[in-house]
């Protein structure tokens, strides 16, 4: 990563120190990148890990930008519905049906508060 584009060095240093102090994770400024928000961070992560044809599971309803970001990096969107009667929680059996050998990422999404697992 170009360290000039990774964000303010002092902020990255503080974040690296926090990870070491709170989680015992050996982290340096080279492991930290500052983004302007979650959308940018998600897109940059997709650019890093998704190869053409890789599948990304998204719970549906979903945050609208996810679909476009996945397609832009050459991934295939696999939608898994969540239902109001289940409080919009992903049911394990629905997720299991969607996973294939090409699954590379899963976006767990609550309709108003997205969460991403890598």
Domain 37-117, classified CATH 3.40.640.10, yes or no:
yes
> CB-side exposure of 74: number of CA atoms within 13 Å?
9
Domains of the chain, by residue range, sit at 1-34, 37-117
In tens, the pLDDT along 39-65 reads 888 899 999 999 999 999 998 888 788
- CA 88 → CA 25, 56, 69, distances in Å? 33, 19, 23
pTM here is: 0.76
Confidence of residue 113 (pLDDT cuts 50, 70, 90): low
Cα(104)–Cα(90) distance, integer angstroms: 18
- 60 neighbors 66 (Cβ within 8 angstroms): no
């Amino acid at each position: 990563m170009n360290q000039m584009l990774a964000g303010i060095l002092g902020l990255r240093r503080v974040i690296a120190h926090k990870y070491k102090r709170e989680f015992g994770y050996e982290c340096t400024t080279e492991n930290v990148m500052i983004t302007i928000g979650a959308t940018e961070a998600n897109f940059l992560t997709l650019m890093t890990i998704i190869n053409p044809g890789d599948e990304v599971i998204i719970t549906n309803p979903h945050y609208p930008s996810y679909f476009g970001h996945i397609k832009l990096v050459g991934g295939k969107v696999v939608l898994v519905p969540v239902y109001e009667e289940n409080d919009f929680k992903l049911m394990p059996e629905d997720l299991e049906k969607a996973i294939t050998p090409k699954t590379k990422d899963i976006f767990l999404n609550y309709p108003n508060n997205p969460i991403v697992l890598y």
